[in-house]
Amino acid sequence: MKRKPSADQQESSSRGDPLPDSTRHPSRFDKLTVQSTVDGPITHHHPALIRINKFFTEHGVCSRRDADRLVESGAITINGRVAKLGDRVGLGDVITRGGQVIPWGKAPVYIKYHKPVGVTTTSESHVERNIIAEIGYPERIFPVGRLDKDSSGLILLTNDGDLVNEILRTEFDHEREYLVQIDRSFDHSFLDQMSRGVTIQGKKTKPCRTAPLGRHRFRIVLTEGRNRQIRRMCQALGYRVTSLHRTRIMHISVKGLGVGAWKELTDQERKQLLEAVGRSKG
C-alpha cells in the first residue's frame, strides 16, 4: 500500500533536492542557519524543532533510550558537530550516525501482522525466520512488544519508536486478547484464579478477564505484557499451554487477516491507536 506524500515531501520533491548541499558534501556547513556553542546544545531559529532522540524514533531508527545511548557514545553528529543530549534539530540540519546521513521525511508506518507459529519476534537479522525478514517491508520497521515463537496471532510493527513505549506502558491498561488451549480440562476455580492474578517470578499479575470456550480452551484479556505471562500463569496452576493465539490489541483485530499476511492500519485504526496512547492527532 502506497502512502500519500506529505505537503513537506511534495514541496521538497518539487525542488528536486530534498536535502541541503551539505548532505552531498559533508564539509560544507557555512550556509546552514545554525548557532552552536562548544559546551551547550545547538540552537536554531526554525519554528519546528525536535529533540535529537525524537528525530531517531520518528525516523524508525531506534527508541529514544537507544538514541540517547548513541548520542552519549559520540556516534551522532549534527552538521558535523558531535551531538549532545538535549540538542534540537530542524529540517535544515544534517544528522549522521557513524558517518552515514539519516535523511529526513520518512512517513510513519503502522502495520498489523498475523504471525504464524515458528516466526521469532526480533529485529536481529541473523535469527532464522525473524519477523522482519518474514514480512519483507521495504523500510526499516520493528515490532511493538513480543509474541512467543510458539504463539500465533496479531502483532503490530512500526517505524515510530515512541509508540513502542506508549503502548507497553501498563498504566494505560491497553487490552490484549488471547485464545488459549491447555493440556487438560479445567473448572471454574482455575479461571477464577487466573482472573484474580497469579504469582509468577515473585510478582502477582494484574487482574484480568477470562471466559471458558470449552473443556480445554478459554479466552483471556490482559492489560499487561510480561514475558510468557499466560504460559507461566497456567504453569503455576498446574497446566501446560498447548496453543496460544492473540486475536486483538486494543481496538485492532486480527480478524480477516490470513496467517502470515500483513497490511497497514486503516486511517481509522491509526487514528484510534494514536489517540489511545495520548496523541491528539494521527
Q: Which active-site residues does the annotation give?
A: 148
Residue holding cell 510458539? Answer: 150
CB 110 within 8 A of CB 252: no
Report residue 196 as a C-alpha cell. 484474580
Question: Which residues, 6 or more positions from 71, have their beta carbon under 8 angstroms from its beta carbon?
Answer: 52, 53, 83, 84, 85, 87
Q: Which amino acid is at 198?
A: V
Single-letter amino acid code for the residue at 209: R
Contact predicate 89/55, CB 8 Å: yes
Give just the sign of the alpha carbon dihedral 26, 28, 31, 34. Answer: positive
